[in-house]
Structure 1
Amino acid sequence: MKRSGRVARTALAVVTVLLAGVALNGHSAEPTEELTVLGPWTDDEEVAFRAVLEKFRKSSGIHARYQGHRDVSQVLQVAIERDRPPDVAVLPRVNDLQRYVNAGRLVPLEGPITTDPGADPQLVKLAPKVGEVRDKLPYAVSVTTHLKSVVWYAPTELKRFGQSAPSTWDELVGLTQRRIGAEQVRWCLGMSAQSVSGWPGTDWIEDILLHRSGEDSYEKWTRGDLHWNSPEVKGAWETWGALLGVSSEQTARASLYTTFQTAAKGLFPREVENGDGEKVVIPPRCHLDHQGSFVVRKYPRKPSTPTNADPPFTFFSTPPIGLKATQSLHEVSDDVAVMFRHTRDSKDVKDSDNTERARELMSYLASAQAQTAWREPTEGVAFSRRGDAPEPQDRVLAAVAEQLRTGTLCWDASDLMPAAMATAFERAILVYLEAPERLDSLLAELEKLRDKGPKAEWLDLTCVSPRERGPER
């Protein structure tokens, strides 16, 4: 994707800020216990992550100076081109991991993090796909995990329609046809997002393919071995289109101009003042929200206790589509931390002071202590692949943690595709919602890109069952 001058200048400015006061080889003019860290979190999410880093500073004496930016990939690209990457970067998508490993830009993880049984499910192991054949090594650690194969809803609203959570796809379709007078059960659909739009729709296609065609077909697709115009992939698009058509074509088109955060807030009633200064309750605009577990932070929050029969919101898992037993399969996305080499010519980076400090930070981010540190500033909305992570007190959030602990976790498919492929997928979503009759030509364009794109940049991370993650800790 061609980068605009404005984006490039913004990325360069952030790199300059990130490295200000620290020599560009990772060392300051005077020795200091300091690391540079780049990540995707801004606003309240940045506040939460800084709280985690502050606990690390107090326990280690190492100051991790954080810079947040919504487009981490662009910022890193500029930094790498200048041969001045941060010590540690947190990536909201793993698309670029294989490219970084192929180029020798990442430092493999060593030390306590590789011997901690609890951290093992969080390690991302890769081997270069260029040059000589080498064993897989851990190059990244998952610091947060987001459950995506779920639909959020307000129980009181479904009860008003005389409905409960569906357990099959046919029941889900039937639910979206349910009416009370002129009012129909509607989807909270928003495709717009900073810094890239369309990804909420890719989540839909991925989730449907996983629960319609099963784990094997899903993994084949994420490796780049399944054609975009195959019956499995095309069928996922058509299944989504049929569901949205049952709901409302207007809803689908309106989603192009609606952020996913705004769509999420439509799940709940709003209290506003009318012209006379009186408070009026505006009913919910929609009733079902297919979105990752991170969206909970956009919902109105109050404690959801075991004695509270009707929490303000809860979720049901994406139901199986057809005869395949796919109830235990869950699509997830992860924020992963990596360590960068400071110079292309470095042969013994593990002996540098900053590399050792970065290893210490990476071990901390994978630890149970760090998972606990996430809980308070995120109001419990911080989940992990780690088996011994503390369970949230909120029973709805505890149910999310249970799904992650007991389900088979499959990486978000577009996160495993090369960046250019993922970008084309996101754009295709936007076109499809505006003009669904163009599906065949869209899939043909995606297939052409898959066929001619760089095979060495596709990730081959597989779904992981509870048994493969090890015994319950």
Structure 2
Amino acid sequence: MKRPARPPRLLLSLCLLAGLALSCAACAEEPPPVVSVLGPWTGDEEKSFETVLDQFEKKYGIRYDYQGTTSLRETLLAQVEAGSPPDIAVLNSLGELTEYAHQGVLVPLPENVRERSPEPWAPELTVKGRKNAYWTPIKVDLKSVVWHYPGRAPQKGDWCVGVGSGATSGWPGSDWIEDILLQKWGPDVYELWATGELPWDSDEVRTAWETWGRLMAPGGDRSQADAALGNDFNGNDGKGLLKRSGDGCRREHQGSFVRRLYDEDITYVPTTRAVAELRNERGAYEVAGDMAALFDDTSGARALITFLTGDEARATWARAVPESNRPFFPVSVGSYGETWANRAVHDTLTGAKRLCADASDVMPPGVRGAFYRAVLEFLAAPEDKKLLKGLLAQLEDERLRHAELGTPRVPSVCAAPTGGTGTP
């Protein structure tokens, strides 16, 4: 049987070279890397944030995969424990971020991002003997303010509060207590308490709770406190508590993000002007923020977190949303629009003498959760001193437990605003 003729060596070599060329072409056409991002924004807020991510992808050719969730803590914790965290996560809990940093899960920020990460939102941590910054604020909010209709005289028992949307929804109450303690005792005492150095059963903390109790149940009237337990902070209909009618609700202690629920007919004043017994001239305000942290040290993740802290991303984000919901940033990048509320919030943030991070955001997650639950129990009987004593004892036990465990703490909470007009 005649064997088929062998192909010439030259032809065989050409075939091999052609195959290699095709393989290399296939390699060159592999899709670019994808940066995974986990964050708190869903719905319309997710769409506006993705406008920023789209701009990043267009500019750098690096794709992204954004996952928005209202169960951020649980989702992130599960991913970290499974060994597959996102490249970047955005969360507001400085306490959680501190724990992740000390566990070696977070990557220190690039130097150019570190320079754009001001206190009190991004204090530097000392981890394994080295000082670094591990997260950066990409959006911030002002607290320590009271929203109201101009011209409507305040009345006793006219506070709008909504904590009835879930087991962890005590945060509007914790915001109240934090702000009262800040305004009554000043930033130094506030920082000691937020960082776990001041006991929960101290006179300062107890007085803050009692003050809030008098506001929620003036003269022992629990009707306002009962209403708070049945209301969501959105007003149960997504329109904001001040839009309710027929229940005498006239004033709301809430952060600047609540602007999205209201129109220009609602304005704010500092808490120190809304509550006579808190009046002072310290110029101190509580603030919160959404922090981005690196969980993986890839070139794409570093490029994205750098972009998110830059002027282009901030301007893109500001243009992507209605003016009533325009985000604020730790350093101004231009116009915030023409609404009174936007200008006023910006001026307050930059003109403050002291800005202090939300205390419950700073606390270890276990303490923060206990704080929220205690708020809900307290509202059932704000005038009951025995109940308050028991709640503070429980919170103190939780503080001591974390101290014994050596739970890492945020080192600082208050600072003068970066680039602002105030002085410490």
TM-score interval (norm. to shorter): 0.7 to 0.9
The equivalent of 1:143 in structure 2 is 138
Deviation, structure 1 residue 195: 7.5
Q: Select the residue among 172, 175, 178 that pairs with 1:206.
A: 178
Deviation, structure 1 residue 151: 0.5
Q: Select the residue among 391, 396, 419 that pairs with 2:365.
A: 419
Alignment of 1:462 with 2:413, yes or no, is: yes
Stretch deviating more after TM superposition (46-55 or 314-323): 314-323
CA distance in 1, matches of 2:123, 2:216: 38
Alignment of 1:443 with 2:398, yes or no, is: no
Summarize the alignment of residues 223-242 of structure 1 with structure 2, pairs less than 5 Å apart.
Answer: 223-242=195-214
CA deviation profile, 1:368-415 (whole Å, cap 9, x unmatched): 222212213332330111144433321221100111111121000000
Do the aligned partners of 1:268 and 1:284 also contact (CA within 8 Å) in 2? no
Summarize the alignment of residues 273-288 of structure 1 with structure 2, pairs less than 5 Å apart.
Answer: 285-288=248-251
CA deviation profile, 1:305-327 (whole Å, cap 9, x unmatched): xxxxxx41100001076588454
The equivalent of 1:297 in structure 2 is 260
**For the structure 1 residues 76 and 187, does the alpha-carbon distance in structure 2 shift closer, same or farther, using more than 3 Å as the test?**
same
**For the structure 1 residues 194 and 376, does the alpha-carbon distance in structure 2 shift closer, same or farther, using more than 3 Å as the test?**
farther
Unaligned runs of 5+ in 2: 1-28
Do the aligned partners of 1:34 and 1:65 also contact (CA within 8 Å) in 2? yes
Q: Select the residue among 134, 154, 161 that pairs with 2:130.
A: 134
Q: Select the residue among 141, 144, 153 that pairs with 2:148.
A: 153
CA distance in 1, matches of 2:321, 2:408: 33
CA distance in 1, matches of 2:63, 2:49: 13
The equivalent of 1:429 in structure 2 is 375
Do the aligned partners of 2:144 and 2:271 also contact (CA within 8 Å) in 1? yes
The equivalent of 1:253 in structure 2 is 226
**For the structure 1 residues 257 and 426, does the alpha-carbon distance in structure 2 shift closer, same or farther, using more than 3 Å as the test?**
same
- RMSD over aligned CA atoms reads 2.4
Q: Select the residue among 265, 273, 289 that pairs with 1:312.
A: 265
Alignment of 1:176 with 2:151, yes or no, is: no
The secondary structure found in structure 1 opposite 2:135 is strand
Deviation, structure 1 residue 265: 2.5
Q: Select the residue among 324, 329, 341 that pairs with 1:396.
A: 341
CA distance in 2, matches of 1:435, 1:32: 58
The equivalent of 2:288 in structure 1 is 333
Q: Select the residue among 188, 194, 202 that pairs with 1:222.
A: 194
The equivalent of 1:54 in structure 2 is 54
**For the structure 1 residues 222 and 200, does the alpha-carbon distance in structure 2 shift closer, same or farther, using more than 3 Å as the test?**
same
**For the structure 1 residues 389 and 70, does the alpha-carbon distance in structure 2 shift closer, same or farther, using more than 3 Å as the test?**
farther
**For the structure 1 residues 266 and 419, does the alpha-carbon distance in structure 2 shift closer, same or farther, using more than 3 Å as the test?**
closer
Q: Select the residue among 305, 313, 316 that pairs with 1:373.
A: 316
Deviation, structure 1 residue 105: 0.5
Give 2:285's aligned amino acid. Answer: H
The equivalent of 1:265 in structure 2 is 240
Do the aligned partners of 1:409 and 1:463 also contact (CA within 8 Å) in 2? yes
Do the aligned partners of 2:120 and 2:356 also contact (CA within 8 Å) in 1? no
Deviation, structure 1 residue 189: 1.1
CA distance in 1, matches of 2:106, 2:317: 26
Deviation, structure 1 residue 30: 4.5
CA distance in 2, matches of 1:324, 1:266: 25
Stretch deviating more after TM superposition (196-205 or 49-58): 49-58
Do the aligned partners of 1:95 and 1:418 also contact (CA within 8 Å) in 2? yes
Give 2:130's aligned amino acid. Answer: R
CA distance in 1, matches of 2:105, 2:416: 30
Deviation, structure 1 residue 288: 0.4
**For the structure 1 residues 112 and 151, does the alpha-carbon distance in structure 2 shift closer, same or farther, using more than 3 Å as the test?**
same
**For the structure 1 residues 256 and 195, does the alpha-carbon distance in structure 2 shift closer, same or farther, using more than 3 Å as the test?**
closer
Do the aligned partners of 1:188 and 1:286 also contact (CA within 8 Å) in 2? yes
Unaligned runs of 5+ in 1: 1-28, 164-174, 178-184, 270-281, 302-310, 342-348, 350-354
Stretch deviating more after TM superposition (318-327 or 34-43): 318-327
**For the structure 1 residues 409 and 400, does the alpha-carbon distance in structure 2 shift closer, same or farther, using more than 3 Å as the test?**
same
CA distance in 1, matches of 2:87, 2:42: 19
Query: Percent same amino acid at aligned positions?
Result: 36
Deviation, structure 1 residue 456: 3.0
Deviation, structure 1 residue 462: 2.4
Give 1:146's aligned amino acid. Answer: D
CA distance in 2, matches of 1:424, 1:364: 36
Give 1:241's aligned amino acid. Answer: G
CA distance in 2, matches of 1:267, 1:440: 32
Give 2:351's aligned amino acid. Answer: T
**For the structure 1 residues 424 and 195, does the alpha-carbon distance in structure 2 shift closer, same or farther, using more than 3 Å as the test?**
closer
**For the structure 1 residues 334 and 81, does the alpha-carbon distance in structure 2 shift closer, same or farther, using more than 3 Å as the test?**
same
Give 1:250's aligned amino acid. Answer: S
Deviation, structure 1 residue 44: 1.4
Q: Select the residue among 304, 309, 314 that pairs with 1:361.
A: 304
Do the aligned partners of 1:122 and 1:386 also contact (CA within 8 Å) in 2? no
Do the aligned partners of 2:222 and 2:381 also contact (CA within 8 Å) in 1? no
The secondary structure found in structure 1 opposite 2:140 is strand
The equivalent of 2:86 in structure 1 is 86
Give 1:286's aligned amino acid. Answer: C
CA distance in 2, matches of 1:323, 1:400: 20
Give 1:95's aligned amino acid. Answer: G
CA distance in 2, matches of 1:268, 1:111: 46
Deviation, structure 1 residue 266: 3.5
CA deviation profile, 1:207-247 (whole Å, cap 9, x unmatched): 00000011110000011000101010000000001112228
Deviation, structure 1 residue 197: 1.3
Do the aligned partners of 1:268 and 1:283 also contact (CA within 8 Å) in 2? no
Give 2:290's aligned amino acid. Answer: D
